[in-house]
Amino acid sequence: MKTAKYWRQGTEGKVQCGLCPHGCTVGEGKTGICRIRGVAGGELRALGYGLVSSANLDPIEKKPLYHFHPGAGIFSIGGWGCNFGCGFCQNWTISQQAPAGGRRCGPEEVARLAGADGSIGVAYTYNEPLVGFEFVRDCARFGCEGAEPTSYYFPQPVTDEYLCRLKALAFRLGLSMSSTAVGNNFCLPPGEARDKQIAALKEWIDHAQVLGAPVIRIFSGAQAKGQSLEEARRLVVEGIEECSAYAGQKGIYLGLENHGGLTATAEGHLAIVRAVQSPWFGAWMDSGNFHDGDPYAQLEQIAPYVLHVQVKVVTREKGKDPQPMDFRRLRKILEGVGYRGWICLEYEEKEDPRQACPRYLDQLREAFA
């Protein structure tokens, strides 16, 4: 039985789990609210480690991703238990009970099964599998200088206590918080839905201040059916200006990513970037997200406005096969505008990221040395 991470000895023979904001105090033979972390022999154990309750090859469109390898399959696996108690959960028969059988698989076997099914990767799903600490540890093992924790992978509710623990762990591992990120849609018309989008970004600005992340990646959103391009851009600009004013009070920058839709081309991206009137706003460069025409020419166009750079390992120009990203050419583009900020690796290819990322990080370091 695997000893769990992130716990400490409590009083009266109990231990306190520190993995998520619940902070459960657990006695011998008992489990926390998640039902998969329990005490045995005075130690907290990961009772469900490697125990798969469900597995399936799903279409990628079932996942909360937008235009990510459309038409591809993703190997989906889930365990038991959950630290949420959502009344609408469709997987309650596995998420709301302790481990009750299933196949035990090691990481290598999961990767092998995914490859055998022709999957582009593995999705950990059906319950709540994602917490920030393992991600930060992987970053440290890869020899990174910083990490970018993304808002939609945090266990809810996000508390200052949790953020401070994550920040402290990063500090002890020698990692900076290079940035953080949200998913938003500012094309929405005035009303309750739009107000929620703006409020959510302002809340994450507060979280970024606690984390010590200096910049937040944001999106423009999707142009609605029947909505003119001019109207969509106007709404996006107004939303960004409101949030940038708030971010500036906290010393946080907002960076608009070239992420399809209104920002699918350098022209569309810059139409928004140039229109926003705020010293706390700029462009966020994703090296792999320009698909119409020469991607390097478009990256060169947005480079003077860039606050942060995330690098993919391939470019995907329409009508052509994917090509390896030319890291040295990208370096020359950024050097040409005097960029001295973070270079962040975003890996989305088929190979196991724990095998591939160290290799690509070495290539990036060599190219930008």
| CATH number reported for the structural domain that contains residue 356 in this entry | 3.20.20.150
Q: Say which residue, 179 or 104, is predicted with more confidence.
A: 179
Q: Which value, to the nearest 10 degrees, does the dihedral of the CA atoms of residues 190, 149, 339, 343 take?
A: -130
Whether residue 310 is found in the same domain as residue 185: yes
Q: Is residue 208 part of a domain?
A: yes
Q: Name the domain count of the chain.
A: 3
Query: Which residue(s) pair with 51 in the sheet?
Result: 104
Query: Which residue(s) pair with 254 in the sheet?
Result: 216, 281
According to the model, what pLDDT value does residue 169 have?
Answer: 83
Split at pLDDT 50, 70, 90, the class of 77 is: confident
As a whole number of angstroms, the distance between CA 200 and CA 328 comes to 37
Q: Round the average pLDDT of the chain to a whole number and report it.
A: 87
Whether residue 226 is found in the same domain as residue 330: yes
| Percent of the chain as helix, strand, coil, to the nearest 5 | 35, 20, 45
What are the φ and ψ backbone dihedral angles of 62, each rounded to 5 degrees? -75, -15
Percent of the chain whose pLDDT exceeds 70: 90
The winner for highest mean pLDDT among 27-36, 57-66, 225-234 is: 225-234
Whether residue 204 is found in the same domain as residue 64: no
**301 membership: H or E segment, kind and range:** helix 295-302
Q: Say which residue, 276 or 118, is predicted with more confidence.
A: 276
As a whole number of angstroms, the distance between CA 170 and CA 146 comes to 8
Q: Is residue 264 part of a domain?
A: yes
Residue 246 contacts residue 205 (beta carbons within 8 Å)? yes
According to the model, what pLDDT value does residue 130 have?
Answer: 42
Whether residue 87 is found in the same domain as residue 38: no
Split at pLDDT 50, 70, 90, the class of 55 is: confident
Residue 9 CB neighbours (<10 A): 11
* SS3 (DSSP) at 331: helix
Q: Which range of residues forms the domain containing residue 186?
A: 132-368
**47 membership: H or E segment, kind and range:** none
Mean pLDDT of 340-350: 92
Split at pLDDT 50, 70, 90, the class of 188 is: very high
Residue 287 contacts residue 298 (beta carbons within 8 Å)? no
Whether residue 91 is found in the same domain as residue 209: no
Which among 124, 154, 183 is the end of a domain? 124
Mean pLDDT of 168-197: 92
Q: What is the pTM of this model?
A: 0.67
Q: Can you read off the two tokens belonging to residue 246? A: 């708030």
* SS3 (DSSP) at 222: coil
Percent of the chain whose pLDDT exceeds 90: 53
Split at pLDDT 50, 70, 90, the class of 180 is: very high
According to the model, what pLDDT value does residue 84 have?
Answer: 82
As a whole number of angstroms, the distance between CA 263 and CA 294 comes to 15
Q: Is residue 1 part of a domain?
A: no
Q: Is residue 209 part of a domain?
A: yes
Q: Can you read off the two tokens belonging to residue 260? A: 């399809």
> 345-358 b/e with 16+ CB inside 10 Å = b?
beeebeebbeeebe
Residues 6+ apart with CB under 8 A from 35: 80, 81, 82, 96, 97, 98, 99
Query: Which residue(s) pair with 181 in the sheet?
Result: 150, 217
Whether residue 312 is found in the same domain as residue 189: yes
Q: Is residue 2 part of a domain?
A: no
According to the model, what pLDDT value does residue 173 have?
Answer: 79
Q: Are strands 180-181 and 215-218 parallel, antiparallel or unpaired?
A: parallel
Which among 61, 93, 124 is the end of a domain? 124
According to the model, what pLDDT value does residue 242 have?
Answer: 98
Q: Residue 133: pLDDT above 50?
A: no
Q: Is residue 275 part of a domain?
A: yes
Q: Residue 123: pLDDT above 90?
A: no
Residue 308 contacts residue 280 (beta carbons within 8 Å)? no
As a whole number of angstroms, the distance between CA 294 and CA 135 comes to 33
Mean pLDDT of 38-52: 85
What are the φ and ψ backbone dihedral angles of 181, each rounded to 5 degrees? -150, 150
Whether residue 103 is found in the same domain as residue 166: no
According to the model, what pLDDT value does residue 323 have?
Answer: 96
According to the model, what pLDDT value does residue 216 have?
Answer: 97
Whether residue 98 is found in the same domain as residue 191: no
Whether residue 175 is found in the same domain as residue 234: yes
Whether residue 196 is found in the same domain as residue 282: yes
As a whole number of angstroms, the distance between CA 114 and CA 117 comes to 5
Out of 88-102, 123-137, 203-217, 221-235, least confident range: 123-137
* SS3 (DSSP) at 172: helix
Residue 3 is given by DSSP the state B
Q: Residue 350: pLDDT above 80?
A: yes
* CB-neighbour burial class of residue 70 (10 A; exposed 0-12, middle 13-18, buried 19+): exposed
According to the model, what pLDDT value does residue 106 have?
Answer: 65
Mean pLDDT of 99-115: 69
Mean pLDDT of 162-186: 90
Whether residue 16 is found in the same domain as residue 86: no
Pick from 188, 170, 187: which is nearest to 179 by CA?
170
Whether residue 97 is found in the same domain as residue 84: yes
**241 membership: H or E segment, kind and range:** helix 229-250
What are the φ and ψ backbone dihedral angles of 300, each rounded to 5 degrees? -65, -35
Q: Is residue 353 part of a domain?
A: yes
Note the pLDDT tens digit of each residue in 321-336. 999 999 999 999 999 9
Residue 224 is given by DSSP the state P
Q: Is residue 198 part of a domain?
A: yes
Pick from 311, 180, 187: which is nearest to 240 by CA?
187
Split at pLDDT 50, 70, 90, the class of 35 is: confident
